[in-house]
Chains A and B, each alone.
Chain A
Amino acid sequence: MVLLAASVHESGFAQTEGRVQKGREIAFDRNKGNCLACHWVKGAELPGEVGPPLVAMGVRFPERAALRDQIWDASRRNPETLMPPYGRHGILTELEIDLLVDFVHTL
């Protein structure tokens, strides 16, 4: 029983790790999220400074949904934001946004 619980936990962890890794690739891909053009992200070479650094995201966005909304269409909170509306304009698919949120939430 203990063994079973441990293995379930491990595979869940591996799955989450896989999603975070995929989300990271989307964030760093110039033709996808291209987040580094504007944001500082840990481990990025030559990040931009147009947007705020992506740090303490779990604290800043305790609600995962609020972070997802911000990525989907940041203009709903601030009409003059410079951030592209990744969901509203179909820049990323809904699945890609979910993966991206998984990654950004770990920062």
Chain B
Amino acid sequence: MSGDAVSGDARQDRDDLVAFFAKRFPDVEFSDHANGAYALDEAKARQWREIEDFPPYEPMIDEGERLFNTAFSNGSGYAACFEHEGIGIKQRYPRFDPDTRQVVTLELAVNHCRELNGESPLSYTGEAITAITAYMAFTSRGQKFDISVPEGAESAFNQGKQFYYSRRGQLNFACSNCHLDAAGLRLRAEILSATIGHATHWPAYRFKWQELGGIHRRFAECNEQVGAVALDHQSEAYRNLEYFMTVMNNGMTLNGPSTRK
């Protein structure tokens, strides 16, 4: 972790959460929370590892690689828009852009790149952007999350934090109600996963979806489950939420794409 690039408050928030879960789950290593609910349920973790041996998302990584390497009409390509030509960089996304004072997710950066090169942006709910970001995540596997909260980013970070801890929807649940207060308990047959580790493995192949999807699709699904009207993918509120959640994963290993129930 590049310590001084993270504002003191943000680092304290992350350390408080790590301490909270270390106390609640003394037998679970910090790094294991990157496996979500599987870190808390050995029987399900075994089945999950067997699926990961022959993962259903593999064709999408290949498709993402093909799209990533397809030149734009002006002859340029995605590689020219990113540091290290876009390979092994996802652990630094989302990042705060001091010029626009906005959180830039990897999806947003991909579309910026297209627009800079005269291409039309991809739909945030479509397959192409999921495939491209899945490939980019794949090339970043094993890297440790290192998201900075520079001066000027506090407002975006705090908005994401407020979202996480605020109750929403007719059923009146905050993200933290289930994934902090009730983490480790069963909601019907499912064990509720911990807050830390929620942003490491995207895009994810969810068995419920039968396809890969990004973290904003999961946000929307969660919001709808508690009876709230979902916000748009890549809306400012969702980008700020992803920013907060990923800062909370600083120091964890990126393990996307992955499968989840």
Taking a contact as CB atoms under 8 Å apart, the answer to whether A47 and B170 are in contact is no
B16 to chain A, nearest CB (A): 18
Contact size class for A? Answer: 10 to 19
Question: Among residues 172 to 187 in chain B, which have CB atoms less than 8 Å away from a CB atom of chain A?
Answer: 172-173, 177-178, 181-182, 185-187
| Shortest Cβ distance from A83 into B: residue | B172
The answer, yes or no, to whether B208 is at the interface (CB within 8 Å) is: no
A48 cross-chain contacts in B, Cβ below 8 A: 185-188
Taking a contact as CB atoms under 8 Å apart, the answer to whether B187 and A91 are in contact is no
Taking a contact as CB atoms under 8 Å apart, the answer to whether B186 and A49 are in contact is yes
A90 cross-chain contacts in B, Cβ below 8 A: 170
Q: What DSSP secondary structure best describes chain B's contact surface?
A: loop
Question: Among residues 55 to 77 in chain A, which have CB atoms less than 8 Å away from a CB atom of chain B?
Answer: 75
**Residue in A37, A38, A49 whose Cβ sees the most chain B Cβ within 10 Å:** A49
B181 cross-chain contacts in A, Cβ below 8 A: 80, 82
Taking a contact as CB atoms under 8 Å apart, the answer to whether A49 and B189 are in contact is no
| Shortest Cβ distance from A85 into B: residue | B172
How far, in angstroms, from A85 to B177 measured CA to CA in the complex? 14
Question: Among residues 9 to 36 in chain A, which have CB atoms less than 8 Å away from a CB atom of chain B?
Answer: 36
B43 cross-chain contacts in A, Cβ below 8 A: none
| Shortest Cβ distance from B181 into A: residue | A82
A50 cross-chain contacts in B, Cβ below 8 A: 182, 185-187, 192
The answer, yes or no, to whether B171 is at the interface (CB within 8 Å) is: yes
> Could you list which residues of chain B lie within 8 angstroms of chain A, going by C-beta atoms?
170-173, 177-178, 181-182, 185-189, 192, 227
> Could you list which residues of chain A lie within 8 angstroms of chain B, going by C-beta atoms?
36-38, 46-50, 75, 80, 82, 84-85, 89-91
Q: Show 26 residue pairs from A and B whose CB-CB distance is below 8 angstroms, ordered by the A residue.
A: A38-B187, A46-B188, A46-B189, A48-B185, A48-B186, A48-B187, A49-B186, A50-B182, A50-B185, A50-B186, A50-B192, A75-B172, A80-B181, A82-B173, A82-B177, A82-B178, A82-B181, A84-B170, A84-B171, A84-B172, A84-B173, A85-B172, A89-B170, A89-B171, A89-B172, A91-B170
